[in-house]
Structure 1
Amino acid sequence: MATKTDKPLEGKVAVVTGSSSGIGKGIALRLAEAGASVVLAARREDRLEEVKQLIEKDNGQAIVVKTDVTVRQQVKDLITKAESTFGHVDIMVNNAGAFTYTLMKNVKEDEWERQIDVNCKGVCNGIGAVLPGMVARGKGHIVNMSSDNGRAPMAGGAIYTGTKHFVEGMSKCLRLELEGTEVRVTNIQPGYVDTDLFDKVVDQEAMDLFEKKYPNISDVKMLTPDDIGRAVLYAVTQPSYVAVQDIQVQPIGFYLQ
């Protein structure tokens, strides 16, 4: 028989954006394994269904809500669906993200805009959809996916780095505003995770620069999405008086300072 230790999130409701693959999928699986009812949100509904099946195969609970985080009303509808199905949202994981490695001088403006829309506006939409309810209840947990680029610059990652600095600064201010409540805000700062974000190359010059700067990168063992899932699980299972502000997770041998 499962114990409270086996299922520390039993009775909790978690929403994970960008959970159709990669880090979001890894987070969703870990939270479900810990007993949370998980609301899976992303644009690729077919991939979400696959994640849902994995959760249910392990006797977990999940629903799928097709969501574009850049559309504010869709995110509000996501939370409405979560609450009508499982109850109030205890954990909001703003994971959906966009990444393009490109030099600014090559002016890939569509890629700039996409990253800003998803990484900045998308996170704000997620926070806006759950924050009033959490404040009213006096408790809840918002987890924002930042990056080690939220702490350090990287040539070829100017826009992405800028969006993650936005997440960092905004989250710090939000924590100050939430003093006196048990609403917590955690930023997860992964570095070099094996996901499909690296599959799309729009600026070969930027990639060439990266490989020149880090010639031994092929020798580095990349992090897995499950590594990040375990970091999130650690943050959201701490006692209510414990605030885990930031968790930086990097592979051995590849550090951005």
Structure 2
Amino acid sequence: MTAPDPHAHIRIVLVETSHSGNIGAVARAMKNMGLGNLWLVNPASFPDEASYARSSGASDVLDRAVVVDTLDEAIADCALVMGTSARGRKVPWPVISPADCADRAAGQAGAGEVALVFGRENHGLSNEELQRCHYHIHIPSNPDYSSLNLAMAVQVICYELRMNHLRALDVAGEETSLEPMLRPGDVGWDIPQASVNDVEGFFGHLEQVLVDIDFHRRENPRQLMTRLRRLFQRAHLDQMEINILRGILTAVQKSAGAGKGRPEPQQEQE
């Protein structure tokens, strides 16, 4: 069963943005994370060349943007409103993190529109505007330098929305980019993992080369091969990597005049 897409019912609301380039940057941040519903409350200038230039290809988000005169118009039909705030209030208000914001927005899917409200570049949202919000969103930035560019703040929230949606898809059994790709066998790795026999053949070949170049003595092995084994097994080699390494070993043998070529696998394991 496909997880519902919360992006369809979420609107990003910018209040009285003074620099139109920031509107374009916000559109870019939104489209990066799969959102496209932008509302503008009394912007100083829009649309204009600066906003489209800064959008870097997210012009479709700007083309669909809804421009209204007041915040009340932007949120009138919404069931949930959350606004960003960096300041403490005399009257405490429910405060949530960006991740909690994403959870609540996703939980609202199908029950009504959700508005995420961002204030002016120089002083954010007014107390009256924040009182229109059910929750205040606090981005826990560096307290010694907490000011975020408008588009950066939007990007943080949109990223959390994106991650929340991808986790829901993952739970629903759909393929996402959340799973790490670290070694052979992980989804997306291009070459199968080397078999135990392949790896043992490599270790036998490696030991023979080290003997051939007088780096290793079988009669006094100490811990050399044990530590090399630990090193290479920690790497989780794939089949092509084994072939490359054995090709290097064969070239070393030929260059050193110590071998006639690659040893047979049975010989290597003795």
TM-score normalised according to structure 1 size? 0.35
- Of structures 1 and 2, the larger Rg is shown by 2
TM-score normalised according to structure 2 size? 0.34
Bigger fraction of residues in strand: 1
